[in-house]
Chain A
């Protein structure tokens, strides 16, 4: 057995975010010192404080083994399950060795460490039609589907609805209407299920929604937060790929056009040419894209930003307008990557959850 599990109990200081809605007072911090073996969990520490010092400390919890999803909190500012966070790791990551525990973000706080998940998390889950729309006719026995497909959707089925990804989604913080990582991962659970009849409809709906599929800013916070390796951002990217490559969905939010412009510019020039990227995202992937009315409008509205950038010397006129291109030899190497990938009959998705780690 590794060392951690043989060490005797130690003292840990917790700083809990308290809030009593009946008091009329603002939230405040409260410190408690508990004694537990260092590999035990933050949840056990909170419960010890609750059991020994103050039974009014409110936290949702049940299973203690990261399966019920009740105990989502922020530990030292990062979203986590309290039962799934070891005390020694929490202390090592804490400022001054004092472990800060507060409620999750992006959701209203009801009391102490308890947030209103109905108002945000569950509302968004319900947005994505979270039930199977079964292919007809329903067979007498089981649907015959591949082994791989069921292992694949097990990843998103494994989501325990804890809210950790929602808590710290940066896009949602800026745009509270963003459908968000949990709901979009749940959407993949159906889009990836061969027994579901409405793959196109689901994808089209989420792609066309201005606060949907293309509102994710690709920041990885949800991937880091998830205690069950659901990889919500990865699912969002898979949904995008299926929507654009398999169903040719061109959404009104210019998400597909943006991706097409991005990849085309790199193929043609070996490097990203930002001045071309913007008009092509709105007007279409070719050189003529900049003449489309939508592109013109965007170009005009971004003139102030360009102006300030030029004034502050963050950009130069030559840098903006001169075509970006890499040396011919190198460009051929880049283009051979495109040829190799696109010559494959099927899209290959590396997902370690499915493929397993190296032996």
Chain B
């Protein structure tokens, strides 16, 4: 049974950064991922990473922008940590080889981004996430002797000892179906968000909330689950993301009257206001009949105002996306976009070192909620978040490992249990079949249940929410849960069985969706990304606090509690862009 000081689950930016940091501190490290590390969804991040590296900049300005962007729900001590450590982290990335674009003087170039009071976003064309993820993977290949990689291993549960401390995980090798228990002194969850619970979403098919759900089921509290970010510029049909970097380079948003409508809600920052402000403004234009496109359900993003040469140099990827997925040459005509689910600010509650409430269990990246993003995340702060807190979690876990012995859990019972759970799915009514027109009473396939979940969340837990809609979503989720327990799978084999893993992922998505809706019902206020049409005002007196959700023991369901927001320098004020 493999045993390591630090086991990292998830190999996106946060996971890979944690692995490198822990190995640097001398820990024995294993990193596990259900896909090859470079397929992690960090690869799709486009626009850039924020850091106050300019000599004219100050990290406190970055921190204030982040606090304001969070609609004052962000924990300011964590935000101070992130913003003050950003410049050093970005320089470190540059030194290991990230190909940051330069200005005329040969220094790192900085572009404008949403909610930022000055240009502080370092970038690699519009493939910043890809460049960073691949460079980190280059380092993992370099350090292959100190970081063991388990690529295409699907984690099924966390291991706990008799005191409840986390001491490893059970996982299935996707290629062979073999189950194995991994002992570890520390486990760092870095599995990302839960976007696939929504349809459409910008997120890849692998983003199914695995880490959030596993931590939740283990009893760790989740925080701010109601805060789900809708990105303003997604392609209408597919939900594919068009980077904020386009607006950073100067692109405009126009309604059917050709107006730059952002003037009404954000006269100062216009298209570069915070994402929740822009998404709401767009949705209002659409709902009030000033939308564009075949169903009048979109908004024009006009990149033609950016010089063509600059677009080809700094926004090449979205030129490709426009051409390949919407049939539009963005250098010649506007493209139709609309808000789409993109990111979850909420997640597993951690401190600034990535520690959860469970000893030995850490979380970093989108899976975690420190919280640095509060009610709304600024663009280009997620790449930063993953690296800062990935590194900190890796360092802290390595230090903890140095002062303790290797746990020796009796993993066999859990190995058998996880195996039996999968077996149970694999042996569901083999002689029957899935639901169809001729057999409406039969169980539906995983994909159909997932599709209904996604449409429900996009209808009732999206940009504008209300009590009735949210309650209806909760009922649907309960019904879908029952269906999911009996869902039909076609693949009964062991080699590369994506079907049975899809059934497990469906359970994770339902957990994430349920906690999101419960938290959204609880917060009777509008703040950041949560807008309740029945409670449209921000209410600091009663709601300047985090909503925590913990799984009740003995099947108790989601239990709501609160935790305070840490305020250091910046008192809450009216939020205007």
Structural contact, A158 and B44, CB atoms closer than 8 A: no
> How distant is B15 from chain A, measured CB to nearest CB, in Å?
15
A2-B327, A69-B38 as given contacts; A131 in contact with B107, CB under 8 Å: no
**Residue A300 is within 8 A (CB to CB) of chain B in the complex:** no
**Residue B405 is within 8 A (CB to CB) of chain A in the complex:** no
Choose among A51, A130, A143 the residue that contacts B445 (Cβ–Cβ < 8 A): A51
The answer for the CA separation of A177 and B141 in the assembled complex, in Å, is 21
- Segment from B60-68, B122-130, B247-255, B531-539 that makes contact with A: B122-130
**Residue B264 is within 8 A (CB to CB) of chain A in the complex:** no
A62-83 CB contacts (< 8 Å) to partner B = 62-70
- Segment from B89-97, B282-290, B347-355, B416-424 that makes contact with A: B89-97
Please tell me the number of chain A residues within 8 Å of chain B, measured between CB atoms.
65
**Residue B309 is within 8 A (CB to CB) of chain A in the complex:** yes
A16-66 CB contacts (< 8 Å) to partner B = 20-22, 39, 50-52, 54-56, 58, 60-66
The answer for the CA separation of A255 and B213 in the assembled complex, in Å, is 57
**Residue A166 is within 8 A (CB to CB) of chain B in the complex:** no
Max chain A C-beta neighbours (<10 A), residue from B39, B294, B308: B39
How would residues 319 to 345 of chain B score, 1 for a CB under 8 Å from any chain A CB and 0 otherwise? Answer: 011001111100000001000000000
How would residues 214 to 239 of chain B score, 1 for a CB under 8 Å from any chain A CB and 0 otherwise? Answer: 00000000000000000000000010
The answer for the CA separation of A1 and B96 in the assembled complex, in Å, is 43
Structural contact, A67 and B43, CB atoms closer than 8 A: yes
Structural contact, A55 and B101, CB atoms closer than 8 A: no
Choose among B39, B97, B135, B490 the residue that contacts A62 (Cβ–Cβ < 8 A): B39
**Residue A357 is within 8 A (CB to CB) of chain B in the complex:** yes
**B448 (CB) vs chain A CBs: closest residue:** A51
A68-B44, A110-B175 as given contacts; A144 in contact with B106, CB under 8 Å: yes
The answer for the CA separation of A164 and B205 in the assembled complex, in Å, is 21
Structural contact, A65 and B240, CB atoms closer than 8 A: yes
Structural contact, B308 and A359, CB atoms closer than 8 A: yes
Structural contact, B131 and A147, CB atoms closer than 8 A: no
**B500 (CB) vs chain A CBs: closest residue:** A55
Q: Please, which residues of chain A bring their CB within 8 A of the CB of B135?
A: 132
Structural contact, B324 and A69, CB atoms closer than 8 A: no
> How distant is B99 from chain A, measured CB to nearest CB, in Å?
5
The answer for the CA separation of A118 and B151 in the assembled complex, in Å, is 10
**Residue A237 is within 8 A (CB to CB) of chain B in the complex:** no
Q: Please, which residues of chain A bring their CB within 8 A of the CB of B134?
A: 157, 161
Structural contact, B238 and A64, CB atoms closer than 8 A: yes
- Segment from B164-172, B491-499, B551-559 that makes contact with A: B491-499
Q: Please, which residues of chain A bring their CB within 8 A of the CB of B40?
A: 68
**Residue B146 is within 8 A (CB to CB) of chain A in the complex:** no
28 intermolecular pairs with C-beta atoms under 8 Å apart? A1-B293, A1-B327, A4-B327, A51-B448, A55-B491, A56-B492, A58-B496, A58-B498, A63-B41, A63-B44, A65-B325, A67-B44, A67-B130, A69-B38, A69-B39, A131-B141, A132-B135, A134-B97, A138-B95, A142-B107, A143-B95, A144-B107, A147-B104, A150-B100, A153-B99, A154-B124, A161-B38, A356-B308
